Chains A and B, each alone.
Chain A
Amino acid sequence: MSDGFTRQVVTFGRVLREAGMEVGAGRLADALHGLDRVDVTRQDDVYWTLRTTLVARREELEPFDRAFRAWFLSTPVSPPGRDQDPRTMPSGAQWTRSDARMRGDAPNADGEPDSVGYSAHEILRRKDFASMTHEEFAAARRLIADIECRRPRRRSRRLRPHSRGRTLDVRRLARGSLATGGDPVNRRFRRRAEMPRKLVVLCDVSGSMEAYTRAMLLFLHALMRAGRGVEVFAFGTRLTRLTPELVTRDPEEALRRAADRVVDWAAGTRIGVSLKAFNDVWGRRALTRGAVVLIVSDGWERHDPSLVGREMQRLHRAAFAVVWVNPLKGGRDYEPLAGGMRAALPFIDRFVTGHNLASLDELAGLLSGIERRHEA
């Protein structure tokens, strides 16, 4: 292979990295190695060779194709599929707390008195996230990280040594009986261990939910540190998977990027469509099966509430339990009147609030001991 060609492939790798793909030296070496073995005058073979060596997951196929078109075929590239250029959006508009719906009867939606006996800490615990000042939220942020998060558990299929197990551990038995001339004197047992249960979170990141979603993501961030098996998705007008970003990035930064991607500020929340996208892509891959599904949303569907009902039913059937967190439920005279919320209610096992620190604490407790309520 000519030097020029090698250089071109290496530069192409850099282009891919800029597009957000992980292209390490190992993959590039594979690509060059592979190109050595195929007929490089055949464009399709070059394409497939680069694709099979440089792409590691399905989500990368689209950026790869775009980069390949731009780099090797020199056709003009259309910007990624978005309705709106991010640069034309009012900068930072989505992060100011100006949404009238959210403010509602705030500040101090709980009407918690600043009376003697409540420490400052306790006041903060009861304060609605939406009515917190910047400083208060910063303090809350630290408290959220301290919430003790235990994941829901399930019995694993994997057997582990256990003194009170029921299944004979023949491996240990045979080894132990060496000393006693083949007589199994000390019996050993195994039993099924407890494992964390899958937790799937669908977070509404539309403007009305901003303050709550921020708090919730901080909470989830802490939960994810407790191990694998937590999948987080964000939705507004569209759905996007947030898990990798939450693992590697600061949660607030991850939220900002997600909101950029899925929220079309003019179109309103589309819960039904987002749930459908989740069921179609991830539900079909059995992500929902046996999982605890946590939906964080105010239930304001601007479109067809019946779709919300239909998709909730699908979700509910596969899930172990469905928990809906609606921060507006914290308001005293809240009734689930939003059309989407009403359609979803029959398919919810637990309906909780998540509007302040105390309620997040409760949520953490609920998740760690959740049991199946509905029939499979």
Chain B
Amino acid sequence: MNEAIEFSSIDDVEAALRAQSYLPERGLATSLFLSLAIGKPLLLEGEAGVGKTEAAKALAISLGARLIRLQCYEGLDVAHAVYEWNYARQLLHIRAAQEGSVSEEELFGPEFLIRRPLLEAIESTEPVVLLIDEIDRADDEFEAFLLEVLSDFQITIPEIGTIHAKRRPAVILTSNRTRELHDALKRRCLFHWITHPSLEREIEIVRLRVPGVSERLAAQAAAFVSGLRELDLNKPPGVAETIDWAHALAVLGCEELDPAVVEQTLGSVLKYREDFETVRDDTVLTLVQEARIAAAAAASVS
């Protein structure tokens, strides 16, 4: 395990991610920097749509590393996360050899192994960012298994033996907190809670991510969404929604928010029927007016 992938300073992380059109807050940049410097996995938590997964992707690209992603779901087991034997091939192999001359070692050798994300990350000789996405969706058994992998960076396959990481991958876990994770797992990770970005930051993000959006529209859309977050919604929109929406508005050729166009496109921001009921016509009107003022104020500052 040599030449761990890392940056030389927090500023470096910020600059590298920015080059990938990802604008991290200082806290996130610090966490990523330390995660690489200390060699500990980083657990990212936060509301849906604040950019947890995006952070890992941007990190991988800026490090020139391969991103290996393990999407967790309920019922995820070792066969889908780590390895599986290629049974069809094994059966054919036994058949082809005839006369029962196949030894067990032969049958459970590397050529019959199907590598799933975790094993792939451990075995990789090139730099790797391992993203374990939505770990809270996997069940307890899997979490317990993950402990072994994350503390020792090794995987034991009974038929073959223990495989040690050739080089320690950078590991990022994300969680939407549908349930609390085991303390043991948390102890092995650094932790960062991602919040919605500040208005200025969000305007910058929209302008960076949505080509062809006017400065004024970007500011107004960001201000409008941050106004929505103040309301009492089932699902407050995340940055991802702001970007989608700004995109939709730009495609429609908008230069500026007005209530009519907001009504048409609100579907890319709000995802629940109840939320549409909360955001009535007069609310939209007020929010549009406020967004215009806030956007103008933000423009005069920068």
Contacts and interface: CB of A to CB of B under 8 A. Distances in A.
Q: Do A and B come from one complex?
A: yes
Nearest to A26: B187
Interface string B24-52: 00110011011001101010010000000
B100 A48 contact: no
Contact of A177 (B79, B94, B141): B94
B45 A52 contact: no
Nearest to A42: B10
Nearest to A172: B87
Interface residues of B, number: 52
B229 interface: no
A247 B255 CA distance: 56
Contact of B102 (A53, A156, A178, A314): A178
A34 B9 CA distance: 11
Contacts of A314: 234, 274
Contact of A181 (B34, B74, B99): B99
Interface stretch (A127-135, A284-292, A335-343, A346-354): A284-292
B234 A58 contact: no
A39 B99 CA distance: 69
A52 B190 contact: yes
Interface stretch (B55-63, B119-127, B175-183): B175-183
Interface in A49-86: 49, 51-53, 55-58, 61
A22 B191 CA distance: 14
A58 B34 CA distance: 19
A284 B87 contact: no
Contacts of B74: 156-158
A262 to B, nearest CB: 19
Interface in B126-142: 139-141
B30 A285 contact: no
A38 B33 contact: yes
B34 A174 contact: no
A44 interface: yes
B290 to A, nearest CB: 23
Contacts, number: 116
B212 interface: no
Contact of B75 (A39, A158, A286): A158
A307 to B, nearest CB: 11
A58 B95 contact: no
Contacts of A174: 85, 87, 90-91, 107
B94 A182 contact: yes
Contacts of B88: 170
A45 B34 contact: no
A34 B37 contact: yes
Contact of B234 (A182, A228, A284): A284
Contacts of B235: 284
A61 B26 contact: no
Interface in B71-112: 73-75, 77, 79, 84-85, 87-88, 90-91, 93-95, 98-100, 102, 104, 107
Contacts of B40: 30
B183 A177 contact: no
Interface string A1-39: 000000000000000000000101011001001100111
A182 B79 CA distance: 22
Contacts of B145: none
A284 B107 CA distance: 48
B26 A22 contact: no
Contact of B183 (A22, A37, A158, A170): A22
B34 A57 contact: no
A44 B134 CA distance: 29
B77 A48 contact: no
A222 interface: no
A235 B27 CA distance: 33
A50 B62 CA distance: 25
A186 to B, nearest CB: 14
B191 A177 contact: no
Given A157-B74, A284-B234, A286-B178, A56 B87 contact: no
Contacts of B190: 30, 52-53
B163 to A, nearest CB: 19
Contacts of A123: none
Given A34-B38, A158-B139, A45 B26 contact: yes
Contacts of A55: 191, 193
Contacts of B192: 51-52
Nearest to A283: B234
Interface in B229-286: 232, 234-235, 274
Contacts of B75: 156-159
A101 B42 CA distance: 52
Contacts of B201: none
A284 B235 CA distance: 7
Contacts of A53: 34, 190
Contacts of A51: 27, 192
A34 B37 CA distance: 8
Contact of B26 (A44, A158, A173): A44
Given A30-B40, A57-B180, A61-B193, 15 more contacts: A37-B38, A39-B9, A48-B27, A51-B192, A53-B190, A55-B193, A56-B187, A156-B75, A156-B139, A170-B87, A177-B94, A178-B94, A184-B91, A285-B179, A286-B178
17 contacts: A22-B183, A27-B187, A37-B37, A45-B10, A45-B26, A51-B27, A52-B27, A55-B191, A55-B193, A57-B191, A157-B75, A158-B75, A171-B87, A173-B91, A243-B180, A280-B232, A285-B176
Closest 3 CB pairs of A and B: A157-B75, A182-B94, A48-B30
